[in-house]
Amino acid sequence: MNLTTVGVLARIEVEMEESVRSQLGNLEGVELFELGDAELEPGQIGLLIEAATVDAAHEKIKQEVATTVGVLCAWPVYVHYGDDEVDEGMEIEPAMLASLCAPT
């Protein structure tokens, strides 16, 4: 089975970071990673999402990640889908970002 892998940047409430990390880390198919850039503002975390399709990954971001208490905004920054032999990367459409990043 081919998986879709999506790298996501999430902005979170700094004072809720421990709780947000715990909640997101418990979501199936979601792995947290450190962004590793000292220049980043506090309250930014990286997520790696694996799903069966691009649409399933998008739904996971909209329905599970972005609705987690303490997550201000979550948007995809990288998408890989298909098998390992063919890199069929995908450009992120502005409408997709708008649907994930509602004003607070």
Tokens for 32? 């947290």
Q: How many residues does the chain have?
A: 104
Task: Check residues 20 and 89 and name the one with the higher pLDDT.
Answer: 20
The pLDDT of residue 50:
94
- Of the candidates 53, 48, 47, the one whose C-alpha atom is nearest the C-alpha of residue 81 is 53
State the amino acid at position 95 in one-letter form: A
- 4-84 maps to which CATH number? 3.30.70.920
- Once rounded to an integer, what is the mean pLDDT over residues 12-19? 95
The three-class DSSP label of residue 15 is helix
Whether 88 contacts 78, CB under 8 Å: no
Is the confidence at residue 103, as pLDDT, over 90?
no
Neighbours of 98 (CB within 10 A): 10
Q: What does the domain layout of the chain look like in residue ranges?
A: 4-84
